[in-house]
Amino acid sequence: MVLYQPTSLGFDDEHQATGPCGGDYALTARNNETEWPLGGYPIIDYSTHPKTLCTYRIALLSDLTSWVDLIPPLNQGGIARFCLPSVPGYIPWVSQQVVLQIAQSAPDGINYQCAAIKFVPGDALPLDKKECYNSSGVTAAVAVGFTSTMPWGSVVTPSNTAISSGGMGSLSPSATATVSKINDGTTLTQSSAPTATSKAVSGAIMAVNGYLDVGVWMVLAVSLGIGAWLV
């Protein structure tokens, strides 16, 4: 696996299976830190296995033993480029030093990639279709019922406290997203969301449905993280 965006801490093919980040990288060196707007930021990677189980997790730099799922785990198919166009930031950790970890579990083991990120107030980063696209044959679906067994820290359950952030509105933990089958053109819908839910969420849903409508977006993306970050 190769992480293109956000900027990877580094790529070491020989040590990709070494957690938590696929190599011996200085996590405290933040010279390549990516500012991640709370409204959304893309995750772009290249999978080197035909079938993988992918987890997208974050941890505070000060505590790399406790991880939070940024979006639900995905079953991903295809040796190809894969883009999630606008993954919302995690409001409780705004302005803090965070490590993003992507772990791809394949038959021959787990590959890790990490990025130094900081969640900042702001709208979603505009979509760059020259960079954010999915190669032909790419598929993805939520890994329903999956219980994380990845090493390098336990997955923690965030607090169910509604948090207000400047420009983002008051976000309720009751907001959820629902989705059925991915590759049949089914649209992604938001359910039980409060009226104060941020514009970034509704905009992200529209973006995903737009890709589905034109037959380009064949993977589940972006708003699946609503249940994890609206807390």
Tens digits of residue pLDDT in 106-162: 888 888 999 999 999 999 999 999 999 999 888 888 887 765 555 555 455 443 322
Q: What's the pLDDT score for residue 151?
A: 53
Residue from 179, 187, 103 nearest 141 by CA: 179
Q: What amino acid occupies position 11?
A: F
Q: What's the pLDDT score for residue 190?
A: 29
Model pTM score: 0.67
**pLDDT tens sequence across 52-84:** 899 999 999 999 888 899 999 999 999 989 999
| Per-residue pLDDT at 104 exceeds 80 | yes
What band does 181 get if pLDDT is binned at 50, 70 and 90?
Answer: very low
Total domain count for the chain? 1
Buried b (16+ CB within 10 A) or exposed e, 50-69: eebbbbbbbbbeeebeebbb
Q: What's the pLDDT score for residue 201?
A: 32
The whole domain housing 199 covers 2-229
In the DSSP assignment, the letter for residue 20 is T
State how far the Cα of 221 lies from the Cα of 207, in Å rounded to an integer. 10
**Range from 6-10, 81-85, 185-189 carrying the lowest mean pLDDT:** 185-189
